[in-house]
Amino acid sequence: MQECHCEDKQMKLAQLLLKYKDTPGALIPVLQQAQEIFGYLSPELLREISAGLRIPLSRTYGVATFYSQFHLKPRGRNIIKVCQGTACHVRGGSKVLEAIKRYVGVETGETSEDLRFTLETVACLGACGLAPVMMVNEETEGQLTPDKAVKKIADCE
């Protein structure tokens, strides 16, 4: 387990808000940097940013949901995308998915509490010949078995 740096993070946020509180147009850089500190933009964080910059929360929310760079839910350090295309499905993709879920301990679309993984499914990765397939971060992994998939994931930080 990593050490918790909550206080550190709060301190960084306070400094960030202090730095930008009188700068017009600071919302987007502040959201970017806050997301860098916390990994994602939680409701509490958006509230704090709004209060700190004296920007209506509705506007902060509007901006945070407009740009694709911003995540309002926590994201893991590793993004796992398991293919759910037809080919993968009939080749045991769902078994692979189940094994990954068990290992990571989350449902599809969720992120593990230690923020190690975000588990997502995709319609088709276009690598049907290698089915079942998943993508871990930028790497495509094919011809998976449940064991092989878990082993691959276990290597991730």
Residues that bind another protein (CB under 8 A): 24-29, 31-32, 43, 46-47, 50, 55-63, 65-70, 85-88, 90-91, 128-129, 131
Tokens describing residue 62: 């509007």
Q: Is the CB of 86 or the CB of 137 nearer to another protein?
A: 86
Of 29 and 109, which CB lies nearer to another protein in the complex structure?
A: 29
The nearest distance, CB 37 to another protein, in angstroms, is 16
Annotate 45-69 with DSSP letters as a single string. HHHHHHHHHT--HHHHHHHHHHSTT
- Cα–Cα distance for residue pair 17/91, rounded to 1 Å: 51
Q: Is 156 annotated as belonging to a binding site?
A: no
Does 4 show up as a binding residue in the annotation? no
CA distance 21 to 50: 10
Task: Report the residue number, 60 or 104, with the smaller CB distance to another protein.
Answer: 60
Q: How many CA atoms lie within 13 A of 131 on its CB side?
A: 19
- List residues forming the annotated binding site for [2Fe-2S] cluster: 83, 88, 124, 128
